C-alpha cells in the first residue's frame, strides 16, 4: 500500500523491542492486551520462535505485531502452516486467553496501516504460511467469505461478552440494576455488615498486589477443584505470567488488585486490567459461605463498578462468556472471536467449502429436530 513499508523479521531479542513497542503504544488506540505490560511477559514466558511484523511510514514505525508459527494438521492428513497473532496455537501456552487482540497500529490512518500489514503477510512473494489466526479479536474482521486479495476468511470460535457502560450511568450503579438483583446485593451487604465494616480497598503497592494475587489464585483453584475442574491458576507458568504482569504494570496503573473485607475478614479479591478508562475484569477469588444469601462475587463487583464510575472510568468489562451474573450486572458487549484468514489455495478452498456444507447440514438437522 502506497507510503507504507511492511516487513516480517525474526524477533531475536524480545527485550530490545520494549522501547519501540512502548513508543508506538502511546500513539495507538490498542487495548491493555496489546500493551507492553501484557506482550512483554507473554514474549518472555510463552512465545515460541516469534516473528515481528513491522509497518513504517517513512522513518516512523506505524504498526507492530508479534506472530508465532505453528504447523496444524487438518483431517489427520493436511499440514497447514499458520501464524498466530500474540498467541502460539498451543492451548496450554494460550491459556492466559488474550481478548481485544489486534495489531498495534498508529491511531491516525489505523485502517489503512492494518490493511497494509495483513495484505503484506499474504503477498505471493512471501509463501511461508497459509493461515493467519487472530484469537481473541473483539471485532470480527469482516463478514465476507472471500475478503480482498482472494483470501478465505472464517470464524473458528465466537463468544459473547458483557460489560457496564459507566459513561452512560446516571446516578449510583446499584440503582441501574433490576429490582431482584439490587435486592439480593443489598441484602448480602447488610448480612456482611453484621460481621463489621464492609471495606473495598486497592493494593497500595506492588508487594501487596502480588500477595493478594496469590490469595486470589488459591481461592480460584479451590473453587474449581470443588467443582471437579481445573483452574488455570494451578499451572505455575500461568501464575508466573500474571505475577510478572502485575509486578511491571501495577506502578503505572495498568494492573490493579482489589480486596473486599467485612469486619477485617477477607470476602474476596478482584484482578483488574486498565487502559484509558477501559477496566477489564480478568479474574476473581471469593470466600464462599454456607449461607447462600451471602453473594461475595455480586457484592464485590457492584462495589468495584461503583468505584470505577466515581473515578471517571468509561467501561467495566466482564470479558467473554455469558455466565448469569454477567448479564445480571451488565449488558451484552462485543463478541470475542477467533478469526482465521487463509490463502485461497485449492486444498484450503476445498476444506472451507466442506466446512460450509457441514455447517448447513447441521443447521438443517437442528431446524428439523425443532419443528
Fold equal for 4-160+335-370 and 162-332: yes
pLDDT higher than threshold 90 for residue 302? yes
Question: 4-160+335-370 is classed in which CATH architecture?
Answer: 3-Layer(aba) Sandwich (3.40)
- What's the pTM value of the predicted model, to 2 decimals? 0.90
The CATH superfamily label for domain 162-332 reads Gcn5-related N-acetyltransferase (GNAT) (3.40.630.30)
Domain boundaries, the chain: 4-160+335-370, 162-332
Q: What are the start-end ranges of the H helices in the chain?
A: 18-25, 36-45, 110-121, 179-193, 206-226, 236-249, 296-311, 324-329, 346-370
pLDDT higher than threshold 60 for residue 365? no
**pLDDT (0 to 100) of residue 362:** 55
Pick the more confident residue, 29 or 299: 299
As a whole-number percent, the residues of the chain with pLDDT over 90 amount to 78
**pLDDT (0 to 100) of residue 83:** 96
Give the residue from 156, 285, 277 showing the smallest Cα distance to 219.
Answer: 285
List, for residues 159-200, the tens digit of each pLDDT value: 999 999 999 999 999 999 999 999 999 999 999 999 999 999
pLDDT higher than threshold 70 for residue 38? yes
Rounded-to-integer distance, Cα 338 and Cα 209, Å: 32
List, for residues 92-143, the tens digit of each pLDDT value: 999 999 999 999 999 989 999 999 999 999 886 666 788 999 999 987 444 3
Rounded-to-integer distance, Cα 12 and Cα 15, Å: 9
Span of 9-13, 29-33, 143-147, 229-233 with lowest mean pLDDT: 143-147
Give the residue from 167, 75, 193, 90 showing the smallest Cα distance to 133.
Answer: 90
Amino acid at each position: 500500500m502506497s507510503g507504507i513499508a511492511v516487513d516480517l523479521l525474526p524477533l531475536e531479542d524480545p527485550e530490545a523491542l520494549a522501547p519501540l513497542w512502548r513508543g508506538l503504544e502511546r500513539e495507538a488506540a490498542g487495548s491493555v492486551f496489546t500493551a507492553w505490560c501484557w506482550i512483554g511477559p507473554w514474549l518472555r514466558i510463552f512465545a515460541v520462535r516469534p516473528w515481528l511484523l513491522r509497518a513504517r511510514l517513512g522513518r516512523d514505525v506505524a504498526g507492530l505485531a508479534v506472530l508465532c508459527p505453528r504447523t496444524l494438521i487438518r483431517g489427520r492428513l493436511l499440514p497447514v502452516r499458520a501464524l498466530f497473532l500474540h498467541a502460539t496455537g498451543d492451548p496450554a501456552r494460550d491459556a492466559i486467553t488474550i481478548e481485544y487482540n489486534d495489531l498495534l497500529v498508529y491511531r491516525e490512518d489505523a485502517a489503512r496501516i492494518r490493511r497494509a500489514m495483513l495484505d503484506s503477510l499474504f503477498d505471493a512473494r512471501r509463501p511461508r504460511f497459509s493461515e493467519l489466526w487472530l484469537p481473541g479479536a473483539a471485532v470480527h474482521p469482516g463478514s465476507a467469505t472471500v475478503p480482498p486479495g482472494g483470501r478465505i476468511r472464517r470464524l473458528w470460535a465466537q463468544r459473547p461478552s458483557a460489560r457496564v457502560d459507566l459513561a452512560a450511568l446516571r446516578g449510583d450503579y446499584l440503582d441501574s440494576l433490576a429490582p431482584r438483583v439490587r435486592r439480593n446485593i443489598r441484602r448480602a451487604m447488610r448480612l456482611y455488615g453484621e460481621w463489621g465494616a464492609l471495606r473495598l480497598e486497592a493494593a497500595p503497592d506492588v508487594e501487596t498486589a502480588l500477595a493478594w494475587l496469590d490469595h486470589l489464585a488459591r481461592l480460584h483453584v479451590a473453587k474449581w477443584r470443588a467443582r471437579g475442574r481445573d483452574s488455570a491458576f494451578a499451572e505455575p507458568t500461568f501464575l508466573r505470567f500474571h505475577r510478572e504482569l502485575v509486578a511491571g504494570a501495577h506502578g503505572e496503573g495498568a494492573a490493579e488488585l482489589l480486596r473486599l473485607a467485612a469486619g477485617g475478614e477477607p470476602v474476596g479479591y478482584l484482578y483488574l486490567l486498565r487502559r484509558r478508562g477501559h477496566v477489564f475484569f480478568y479474574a476473581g477469588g471469593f470466600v464462599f459461605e454456607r449461607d447462600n444469601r451471602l453473594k461475595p462475587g455480586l457484592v464485590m463487583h457492584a462495589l468495584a463498578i461503583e468505584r470505577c464510575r466515581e473515578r471517571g472510568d468509561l467501561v467495566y468489562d466482564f470479558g467473554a462468556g455469558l455466565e448469569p451474573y454477567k448479564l445480571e450486572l451488565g449488558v451484552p458487549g462485543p463478541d470475542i472471536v477467533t478469526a482465521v484468514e487463509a490463502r485461497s489455495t485449492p486444498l484450503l478452498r476445498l476444506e472451507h467449502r466442506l466446512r460450509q456444507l457441514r455447517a448447513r447440514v447441521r443447521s438443517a438437522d437442528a431446524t428439523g429436530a425443532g419443528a
